[in-house]
Amino acid sequence: MPRGKEKSRTLRRVFKKLPGERTTLHYEKRKPSKAKCSGCDALLKGVPRERPYKMQNMPKTKKRPERPYGGVLCTKCARKKIISQTRN
């Protein structure tokens, strides 16, 4: 029977096969959602979705694209911002 804390839907149910030819149920924590653009709420590319303990051990270059406003704005919003800054 599952324990009380295992009944919450924030955990995902995963069936795992054991070497003794037996399958068991494991309760694992879910990954965070994908990063979104702060301007237009579009999904950002080049930003991985991993739990904090994995993100901390990743190098900086693997967490965001190498360009201005990388990981914050999408390419369209970044271009608009740079153009508005140059014209003003």
Partner 1 sequence: MVFEIGRLCVKIAGRDAGLRCVVIEILEGNFVLIDGQTRRKKCNLKHLEPLETVLKIKAKATHADVVSEFKKLKLEIKETKPKKASERPKKFKKKKEPRNKEASENTAKPEIKTVVKNITEEKKTASKVKTTKESTPEKKKVVKKTTVKKKVITEKKK
Which residues sit at the interface with partner 1, rule CB under 8 A? 66-68, 75, 78-79, 82-83, 85-87
Shortest distance (Å) from residue 86 CB to partner 1: 5
> Shortest approach of partner 1 to residue 88 CB, angstroms?
12
Q: Whose structure tokens read 């839907």?
A: 9
**What pairs with residue 37 in β-bridges?**
none
**Assigned token pair, 53:** 């303990």
CB atoms within 10 A of CB 66: 9
Closest contact distance (angstroms) between CB of 26 and partner 1 is 36
| Closer to partner 1 by Cβ: residue 31 or 76 | 76
Inter-residue contact 45 to 65 (CB < 8 Å): yes
50 vs 71 by CB, closer to partner 1: 71
Q: Which is nearer to partner 1, 49 or 79 (CB)?
A: 79
- Sequence-separated (6 or more) residues with CB below 8 Å from residue 15: 23, 24, 25, 26
